[in-house]
Amino acid sequence: MESKLYRINEFVRPADGRSLVVDTSAGLALGALPGLERFAEAVAPILPLADGLVASPGQARRLSGRTRADAALLVRADWTNALRGQDFVLPPETIFHIPLLEPADALDLGASALVAHVLLGHEEHIEAGCLKNVVQLALNGTPLSMPLITEVQASGPRVVLRSKAIELGVSYSIECGADGVVIPWPGADSLRTILTMTAGLPVWIEADPFDPTDVTLNEALEIGATGLWLNARVFGTPDPAGTLAAFQALVHGAVPQTA
């Protein structure tokens, strides 16, 4: 883990142990996202504000102009159509999960970490496939010092107790070798349980509702979450950089930005 810590510190600030990450990779499953039609131009203004940017492998290849003062690059390691809701033009009848790349590929792209889904509440082979992928990424990434962050999505039709399903997804992730987790807001009590379970590993809360003044986001940070994980909705706002600056102030407060 110590060998991976250097890369984790590229998107978790050592000064305050906090992190603000923007995930642009949903376009893999959803197509062109509002505000991201010209990807490189759209993300340029937010690179100095975020600590990390999650991109698909194709998007990552368009970010060659990043500097050390910009957001660290995290690369999405898998694809799933589980992100497509019933309002999608072609709602999924069958859920698929497909690995996309290996830690060595992420290293070639200049990534600081890999990000993979842990889908819960779907058919057993989908859940098992996600966990198998996490194990392989963790095993293959350790010799390369490539951290692995899992995104727990307890949104399948078989989920009954959502907070308990999130806790289970975190437990699976840690046992499979993840170096950090991203979760939806599970409630204060469950978050405390999860923070105990992860024993100091980074835990991000998905910003939903997408509002830097929302009390649950403040509560999550006060309880001890590492930071917030924003999706591509920020690029659909009238002022993406201004919106992100508000989230940055929530996460980091008066702590100065470091290179």
Task: For each of the domains in the chain, give its residue range(s) and CATH number, in order of start.
Answer: 2-250 (3.20.20.70)
Residue 140 to residues 4, 26, 108, 123, 198, Cα–Cα distance (Å): 13, 24, 14, 26, 21
Q: Which amino acid is at 185?
A: W
**Of the candidates 224, 147, 143, 146, which has an alpha carbon nearest to the alpha carbon of residue 183?**
224
Strand partners for 151: 117, 182
**Of the candidates 20, 128, 28, 37, which has an alpha carbon nearest to the alpha carbon of residue 72?**
20
**pLDDT of 72 strictly over 90:** yes
**pLDDT of 213 strictly over 60:** yes
Residue 97 to residues 69, 100, 127, Cα–Cα distance (Å): 34, 10, 9
SS3 156: coil
Here the tokens at position 153 are: 């999505």
**pLDDT of 258 strictly over 50:** no
pLDDT tens by residue, 73-102: 999 999 999 988 777 777 788 999 999 999
**CA pair distance 62, 41, nearest whole angstrom:** 10
With a pLDDT cut of 90, the percent of the chain lying above it is 81
pLDDT tens by residue, 216-257: 999 999 999 999 999 999 999 999 999 999 999 999 985 434
Residues 6+ apart with CB under 8 A from 172: 118, 131, 134
pLDDT tens by residue, 130-185: 999 999 999 999 999 999 999 999 988 999 999 999 999 999 999 999 999 999 99
Q: Which amino acid is at 46?
A: I
Average pLDDT (51-69) is: 90
Q: How many helices (H) does the chain have, and how many strands (E)?
A: 10, 10
**CA pair distance 5, 70, nearest whole angstrom:** 18
Whether residue 74 contacts residue 114, with contact meaning beta carbons closer than 8 Å, is answered with: yes
Phi, psi (degrees; rounded to nearest 5) at 47: -60, -35
| Higher local confidence (pLDDT), 256 or 107 | 107
Average pLDDT (184-211) is: 95
**Of the candidates 213, 209, 219, which has an alpha carbon nearest to the alpha carbon of residue 187?**
219
Crossing angle of helices 215-223 and 188-198, in 10° steps, is 30
**CA pair distance 110, 102, nearest whole angstrom:** 13
**Of the candidates 112, 143, 152, 115, which has an alpha carbon nearest to the alpha carbon of residue 5?**
112
Residue 1 has what pLDDT? 57
CB atoms < 10 A from the CB of 164, how many?
A: 14
